[in-house]
Homo-oligomer: A and B are copies of this chain.
Amino acid sequence: MSTRIPVGLVGVTGYTGMELARILAGHPDLELVRATSRSEAGKKLSVLYPFLSGPGDLGRMGEIVVSQPDPADLAASCALVFLAVPHKTAMEIAAALIEKGVKVVDLSADFRIRDRETYEKWYAVEHTQTALLAEAVYGLPELYRDKVRKARLVANPGCYPTSAILGLAPALEKGLIHIDDIVIDAKSGTTGAGRKASVGNLYCEVADNFRAYNLTKHRHTPEIEQEVSILAGQDIELSFNTHLLPIGRGILSTIYTRLTAQLSVADVHALYAERYKDEPMVRVLPIGTLPETRWVRGTLFCDIGLAVDERLGRLIILSAIDNVCRGASGQAVANANLMLGLAETMGLPTAPLMP
């Protein structure tokens, strides 16, 4: 008889749903008891995902029968529910669950943008849950850990924003850089495009290719600007641009900034190391070591590397995460841990799969 805390997952068929299943299969204190999908209801998880079979927790998880998303049933069986469904859909389910007293970690964008108009402009839908919007906590533990602990509803950050905000935070908090000349050149693995059928994401269209997309208009822009403005104490507009990598998992953001004072890389590194010295999920790499997406593969780490171009007075910040784990499901579990009174990194993998 399990004494683990029961949790549910709404939306099991995408990569974030799959990753949540992977993480929960090894979690000592949380147990997945519900998994829902409108299209796959009625199937065992082990039929959807044959790798969810075998002995122990893995096999037990595979025995779960996918159900239709039913707030009453979820509320009756789960202490917390993860929402891995598209935006707009998420806000409605979140409201129904919160009303019934279940805690929610929402992996969609619905509760990330505090300003309703900004949300509605960038996402082109109406926000129908403004009371919850005001209550939701932005689930980046390095910035809002204490609020997450008390939250009923956590807006799990976007993948690019997680990487960008953690990369910029120390520089902005300390006023190291000019806030009107920030360029983020971000590159993401293809899991970021989701698991729906589309010609553009076929193997033969992505492999051995590289391209930019959504230049100047990616929806993560207002989310990043919101948080870095808070960090800087001033409104910031920045240039955020995205590229598609022929890899599965991983985001590397190369962030170009101009220093406000003449600082060496050692100076900047010392400030970053100090800022993150007690953070269990951020690693400031040694001077001269630049992050690689594989070093964070399957883990919660955000790895940060620093370079100063003294000739030009520029600071270049490199920030790498696994977009599926730190940028989505792993961070969701860290938030759930906090919301349920567990240690933040409980059950989360730390050693990357290399190679």
Contact = CB atoms under 8 A, between A and B. Distances in A.
Interface stretch (A78-86, A103-111, A122-130, A205-213): A205-213
Interface of A: 15, 18-19, 21-23, 25-26, 49-58, 181, 183, 185, 187, 189-191, 195-199, 201-213, 215-216, 237-239, 241, 243, 245-250, 252, 254, 256, 280, 283, 285-286, 289-298, 301, 303, 305, 307-309, 311-312, 314, 316, 318, 345, 349-355
Contact of A248 (B55, B208, B286): B208
B185 A355 contact: no
B248 A247 contact: no
B211 A351 contact: no
A210 B355 contact: no
A309 B240 CA distance: 10
Contact of A280 (B55, B206, B248): B55
A353 B19 CA distance: 8
B22 A351 contact: yes
Nearest to A191: B204
Give the number of times this chain occurs in the complex, counting copies.
Answer: 4
A213 B294 contact: no
A262 to B, nearest CB: 15
A32 to B, nearest CB: 12
Contacts of A215: 290, 307, 309, 316, 318
A252 B203 contact: no
A293 B54 contact: no
A183 B312 CA distance: 11
A353 B350 contact: no
A65 to B, nearest CB: 16
A50 B211 CA distance: 13
A213 B352 CA distance: 21
Given A51-B351, A210-B187, A297-B353, A248 B285 contact: no
Given A54-B350, A204-B355, A351-B25, A254 B212 contact: yes
